[in-house]
Structure 1
Amino acid sequence: MNDAQIWTMIGAFTALMLGMMTIVSTLFIRVLRAEIGGLRSEVNGRFDVMNARMDGLDRDVQALVKRTFGLDRD
């Protein structure tokens, strides 16, 4: 092999490595974003459930207070 062939092989190998690193990092970022998005939707869903429970608890406590203190009897 002469100098031109060696430099061509070095250039091709470098281009191949940079291309592979680009593809791997791009796919990794996509997977990471998808996982974070799924986690966000799960957490938001849990907050929605807790808000519904708190609303129900608030309604029940108000009913108990009205019944206990006779506020519902006009």
Structure 2
Amino acid sequence: MARITVEDCLAKVSNRFLITQMAIKRVKQYREGYDPLVDTKNKEVVNALREIAAGKVVPDTSDDLHLHSAPTEEA
């Protein structure tokens, strides 16, 4: 891949917000000493996006953002 785009990542993860969350978490993991899952010479955030687009990083269902509607008041 010459360039990485959000559209490349959307093929694996359909939520842009979740892609952002995953990339942030992955960059933090690099800084803690985790090894990259794809071989590139790019910055951490680009490498994280490449991993997402390659399907090497998947969302953790226990950490996924779950949206709930607010309870309605009944009279």
Query: Structure 1-normalised TM-score?
Result: 0.26
Bigger proportion of residues as helix:
1
Larger Rg: 1
Between 1 and 2, higher relative CO (CA 8 Å, sep ≥ 6) is seen in 2
